[in-house]
């Protein structure tokens, strides 16, 4: 794993409730995709960015799916017109990251998060164990050399 330092940044997000993780990712992706395609107050098209993240909280059936707001829109991202979509500011944070390849299923993300959590515990690294993020970097059409990550936030 690696330890990364992320600066404060804005993300566009939506919370999908009561669905499987796979279905939540699908629904969340499309809500956010419509936002960047112009479903916002400025009717502005915004470039797609990576990663697409999904917040997984233990024992919780809500999934928060997010796109990073491109650097040129960080200061004033257009406001969403869909009431389920919102702009959030994530504070600067130290994040433990485990990368892996292939097509990432919810089960694969969970397995990789468990491997990361075990490694952090073994090394005595304090981290927030009650949630993790999945991060996907590739379009579903990319077949090879795929890049996925799981993130735990350092305490």
Instruction: Give the C-alpha separation, 106 to 5, whole Å.
Output: 25
- Of 64, 46, 47, the closest CA to residue 55 belongs to 64
Does residue 115 contact residue 108 with C-beta atoms inside 8 Å? no
What's the pLDDT tens digit per position in 54-74?
999 998 999 999 999 999 999
- Of 47, 33, 17, 25, the closest CA to residue 136 belongs to 25
CATH superfamily, region 2-153: Regulatory factor, effector binding domain (3.20.80.10)
At 127 the three-state DSSP class reads strand
What does the mean pLDDT of the chain come to? 97
What's the pLDDT tens digit per position in 4-29?
999 999 999 999 998 999 999 999 99
Helix (H) or strand (E) holding 17, with range, is strand 9-17
Helix (H) or strand (E) holding 3, with range, is strand 2-6
What's the predicted TM-score (pTM) here?
0.96
Domain locations along the chain: 2-153
The structure tokens 């990789």 sit at 112
């Amino acid at each position: 794993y690696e330890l990364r330092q992320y600066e404060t940044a804005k993300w566009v997000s939506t919370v999908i409730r009561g669905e499987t993780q796979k279905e939540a990712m699908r629904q969340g992706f499309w809500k956010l995709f419509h936002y960047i395609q112009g479903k916002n107050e400025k009717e502005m098209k915004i470039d797609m960015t990576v990663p697409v993240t999904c917040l997984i909280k233990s024992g919780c059936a809500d999934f928060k799916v997010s796109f990073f707001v491109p650097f040129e829109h960080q200061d004033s991202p257009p406001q969403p017109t869909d009431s389920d979509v919102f702009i959030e500011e994530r504070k600067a944070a130290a994040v433990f990251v485990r990368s892996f390849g292939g097509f990432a299923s919810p089960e694969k993300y969970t397995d990789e998060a468990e491997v990361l959590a075990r490694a952090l515990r073994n090394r005595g690294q304090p981290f927030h164990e009650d949630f993790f993020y999945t991060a996907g970097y590739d379009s579903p059409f990319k077949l090879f050399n795929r890049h996925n990550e799981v993130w735990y936030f350092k305490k």
